[in-house]
């Protein structure tokens, strides 16, 4: 595995750590459980990090020194690709011949390194995009920064080099074909999973007691990185509309925002808190630093609904995790969220980012406990379709298929 720009050991919810970090570590663990030894190469961001960390039985995380340990923005990482790749190749050269059987790269920066490793080691390259510049640029949030042309070109090169591309959903598969010219035969749809032993129904009342939340509160939760792409401002503006329409809601409305600034959100790290002040809702909003997966499961369980108002999501892991706890999700009808959330069954989809439309949808759940319970039951049932064990089995098959494709091309 190559995860250059963010380590699977990092805490999701801040910086560049998010669903991809969870994806890499959970998939690696499940592959290891099937007898597949996994090395994850990632860039070292501190001189105090050990060169190798055993993240689980059969899973080694290798910290590669490439550029300054701290203070290097993601946009500056392309300048370190050669150094990173050299260190990856050097590590392999110290192993017996044919040590690695496949390379699975995550995000386009890793794909650039993976393409070199593929050619040097004569093993198949499987690539997961996680996000795509062309897709992001088509659905930019107000004030967000477009992805540069250098990334677009880099992604096109990775798509061309990979023996197989793993897409999270049918929507992402179509985007790879339509926007990047990928061969449909080279794209495999494999849904990410959820740890159903961590994200499981535990009871809303119990979770609220654990977090010190009122049992009769209407809790509307946002969990994730605080950046324009994730659109937490849409939730806050919708809450402002709700309180404007019905001031009596103020005494029982609680809006936890769990996560930290990330991406372009780092330019104005207090922007969301400032917005809460401007909207006059600071008294109902609670900012919570990034939490562990186990703690996130408690927050999700405690919520009346989890809001995922993103402008784009290749999948939307937070939405699956919330549903697995029995909490309905209100999500933007974009990207992978239309697969992850079954509208009217496990949650509600909103076709716009207009705060009034979001307020109207959230109000349905705030006012109707029976609807919350019905959607909650549907959410648990729907989440059972997503497991990391199934993801690992499908991915292992994809590695085999990628090898067959590579050898067929070489023979032709």
pLDDT tens readout for residues 221-261: 999 989 898 999 999 999 999 999 999 999 999 999 999 87
- Average pLDDT for the chain: 93
Q: Name residues whose C-beta falls within 8 Å of residue 135's C-beta, 6 or more positions apart in sequence.
A: 175, 179, 312, 314, 335
pLDDT score recorded for residue 314? 85
pLDDT at 15 over 80: no
pLDDT score recorded for residue 265? 47
Determine the Cα–Cα distance for residues 10 and 412; give it in Å rounded to an integer. Answer: 43
Question: Is 180 marked as binding a ligand?
Answer: no
Average pLDDT over residues 203-207: 95
Q: Which of 34, 44, 90 is nearest to 64 (CA)?
A: 44
Q: Are 285 and 277 in contact (CB under 8 A)?
A: no
How many C-beta atoms surround the C-beta of residue 326 within 10 A? 25
Average pLDDT over residues 300-328: 95
Question: Is 230 marked as binding a ligand?
Answer: yes
pLDDT score recorded for residue 337? 95
Question: Is 305 marked as binding a ligand?
Answer: no
Average pLDDT over residues 4-15: 77
Question: Is 261 marked as binding a ligand?
Answer: no
Question: Is 12 marked as binding a ligand?
Answer: yes
For residue range 170-200, what is the model confidence (pLDDT) as tens digits? Answer: 999 999 999 999 999 999 999 999 999 999 9
Question: Is 304 marked as binding a ligand?
Answer: no
For residue range 330-364, what is the model confidence (pLDDT) as tens digits? Answer: 999 998 999 999 999 999 999 999 999 999 999 99
Phi, psi of 409 (to 5 degrees): -65, -40
pLDDT at 264 over 60: no
Q: Where are the domains of the chain?
A: 19-193+388-411, 204-383
User: Do the strands 285-288 and 305-308 form a parallel or antiparallel pair, or are they unpaired?
Assistant: unpaired
Q: What is the DSSP string of 256-312?
A: EEE--B-GGGGGSTTHHHHHHHHHT-TTTEEEE----HHHHHHHHHH-SEEEE--S-
Q: Which CATH superfamily is domain 204-383 in?
A: Glycogen Phosphorylase B; (3.40.50.2000)
Determine the Cα–Cα distance for residues 254 and 284; give it in Å rounded to an integer. Answer: 5
Question: Is 129 marked as binding a ligand?
Answer: no
Six token digits for residue 372: 């919350």
What is the CATH code of the structural domain delimited by 19-193+388-411?
Answer: 3.40.50.2000
Q: What is the CA radius of gyration of the chain?
A: 21
pLDDT score recorded for residue 144? 81
Average pLDDT over residues 207-219: 96
Q: How far is CA 308 from the centre of its chain?
A: 12
Q: How far is CA 304 from the centre of its chain?
A: 22
pLDDT at 159 over 70: yes
pLDDT at 44 over 80: yes
Question: Is 16 marked as binding a ligand?
Answer: yes
What sign has the CA pseudo-torsion 257, 260, 266, 268?
Answer: positive
**% of the chain at pLDDT higher than 90:** 82
Question: Is 225 marked as binding a ligand?
Answer: yes
**% of the chain at pLDDT higher than 70:** 96
Phi, psi of 203 (to 5 degrees): 100, 125
pLDDT at 13 over 80: no
Q: Name residues whose C-beta falls within 8 Å of residue 258's C-beta, 6 or more positions apart in sequence.
A: 13, 221, 222, 223, 224, 288, 289, 290, 291, 296, 299
State the DSSP code for 183: -
What band does 6 get if pLDDT is binned at 50, 70 and 90?
confident
């Amino acid at each position: 595995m190559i995860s250059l720009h963010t380590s699977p050991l990092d805490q999701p919810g801040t910086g560049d750590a998010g669903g991809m970090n969870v994806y890499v570590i959970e998939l690696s663990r499940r592959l290891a459980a099937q007898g597949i030894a996994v090395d994850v190469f990632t860039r070292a961001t501190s001189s105090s990090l050990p060169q190798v960390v055993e993240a689980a039985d059969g899973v080694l995380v290798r910290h590669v020194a490439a550029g300054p340990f701290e203070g290097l923005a993601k946009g500056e990482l392309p300048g370190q690709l050669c150094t990173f790749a050299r260190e990856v190749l050097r590590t392999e050269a110290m192993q017996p011949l044919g040590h690695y059987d496949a390379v699975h790269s995550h995000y386009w920066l890793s794909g650039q390194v993976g393409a070199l490793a593929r050619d040097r080691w004569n093993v198949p390259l499987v690539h997961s995009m996680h996000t795509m510049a062309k897709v992001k640029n088509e659905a930019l949030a107000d004030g967000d920064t477009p992805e540069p042309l250098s990334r677009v070109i880099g992604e096109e090169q990775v798509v061309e080099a990979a023996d197989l591309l793993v897409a999270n959903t049918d929507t992402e598969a179509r985007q790879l074909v339509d926007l990047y010219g990928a061969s449909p035969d080279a794209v495999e749809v494999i849904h990410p999973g959820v740890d159903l032993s961590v994200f499981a129904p535990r009871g809303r009342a119990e979770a609220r007691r654990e977090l010190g939340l009122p049992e009769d509160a209407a809790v509307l939760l946002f969990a994730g990185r605080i950046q324009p792409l994730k659109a937490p401002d849409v939730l806050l503006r919708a809450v402002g509309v709700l309180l404007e329409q019905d001031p009596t809601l103020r005494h029982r409305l609680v809006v936890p925002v769990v996560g930290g600034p990330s991406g372009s959100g780092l330019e104005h790290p207090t922007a969301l808190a400032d917005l809460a002040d401007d909207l006059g809702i600071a008294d109902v909003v609670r900012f919570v630093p990034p939490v562990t997966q186990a703690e996130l499961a408690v927050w999700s369980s405690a919520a009346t609904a989890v809001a995922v108002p993103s402008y784009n999501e290749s999948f939307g892991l937070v939405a699956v995790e919330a549903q697995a706890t029995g909490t309905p999700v209100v999500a933007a009808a974009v990207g992978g969220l239309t697969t992850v959330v079954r509208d009217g069954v496990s949650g509600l989809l909103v076709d716009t980012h207009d705060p009034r439309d979001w307020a109207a949808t959230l109000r349905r759940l705030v006012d109707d406990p029976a609807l919350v319970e019905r959607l909650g039951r549907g959410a648990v049932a729907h989440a059972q379709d997503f497991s990391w064990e199934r993801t690992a089995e499908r991915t292992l098959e994809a590695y085999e298929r990628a090898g067959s494709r590579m050898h067929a091309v070489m023979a032709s």
